Structures are given as C-alpha cells and as structure tokens.
Amino acid sequence: MNDVAKSMALDKGTLALVRRDAGMDVLYARHWGELCHYIKKHFGQGPPDPEDVAQDAFMRFAAIENREAIDNPRAYLFRTAHNALVDEHRRLALHRGNPADIDAGTASDDLTPERVLVGQERLEILTRSLRAMPAARRRSFLLNRLQGLSCAAIARMTGYSESAVKKHIDVALRHLEAALSEAERTGSGNSV
C-alpha cells in the first residue's frame, strides 16, 4: 500500500464496524461508476487513484453505525470523496514545498525546518490522543472536524442525541488541547 493509500485508510477499529449487506450492494451498484467519473473529471487520474478514493468513501459510509439516518447517501459519498481529495492535494502541495497551492496568503519562508518539526511532533501527539479516546468521542470529533458534518447530522448517523455529540466534540477538543499543553510543559514533544 503506498503512502497515499495509507493516509486515506481507515483504522482497524473503524474497519471492524464495516459490515456487508444488501443495502450497500445496491448503493455501490448505483453510485460507484458515477462517483469514479466525478473524481476523474474534477481531480484527474491521480494520485490518488480515483477508484481508491471512491472505495475509501464507500468504506467510510459502511463504517457508520446508523447509516439509515443519512438522508442522502449519494451526497455523503460525494462529499467524503471530495473532502479526501482536497486534503490529499493539500498534503501533496506541502510535500512539494509549494504552500501557495494551499493558501495564497502564506509566505513560503513561513515553513522553516523548525516549524515543520514542531508540526510533525504536534501531529504525533494529537494522533496518540485521538487513538486513546473512546470510540464514540473520536468518531463524533472526526466526523465534525474532518468530514465537516454538523452535530445534528452526526446525531442522526450515530443515534446519539445532538447534545451528546456536542459534548463528545467539546471533551475531545479539551482532551487534545490538554495533551498539547502537557507536551509543552514537560517537553515530551521535544520542540513543542
């Protein structure tokens, strides 16, 4: 699996939630070709490979515990694929050292080696903290922050109340901020 595929892959806990059923087969039959065509038309042949992105979108949808609560599965699949591609293009632009591709307002000299190292260390701390969270909290936070879903949409998908989803997100944010603060205080993030 290449780096792109790894960066887009779901963690093992999420993959365990994926279950095959007739509804997914129908959704796949209806939207696979259209989704791949959309990806190719708007983002080209890759990287990442359009079929990999489409598969990732279907896997993410299949991993949702309460898929029936999603009003428009097609829109969810397209938004998920679109968001994954935008994130991947940003990551590739950073890798190429062209921050202008990401944000025209950012000067290239802002990305010093020290800032990159600090960013990598902070990412490692945040990743460890996310993995240590209870699954419901982590899922609510990631759906909100990475997929851009509202608390109401997450509540419909997961079966939790909207206030419970908000609480999960708030607690997750406080947990992540505390982890970064602790790393700065103790120097465990080295340069953080």
Cβ-proximal residues to 123 (8 Å cutoff; 6+ apart), any chain: none
User: Of 110, 128, 154, which residue sits at a domain end?
Assistant: 110
Residue 192 to residue 190: CA distance in whole angstroms = 6
Assigned token pair, 97: 């050292």
Q: Which residues constitute the domain of residue 180?
A: 112-192
pLDDT, tens digit only, all 192 positions of the chain: 444 444 444 444 444 444 445 677 888 888 888 988 888 887 777 677 888 888 888 888 887 777 787 888 898 889 988 888 887 777 776 666 555 544 444 444 456 777 777 778 888 888 899 899 999 999 998 888 888 888 998 999 889 999 999 999 999 999 988 888 888 888 765 544
Residues 147 and 189 grouped into a single domain: yes
Q: Are 156 and 69 in contact (CB under 8 A)?
A: yes
Residues 47 and 93 grouped into a single domain: yes
Q: What is the pTM of this model?
A: 0.43
Closest CA to 58 of 89, 14, 30, 27: 27
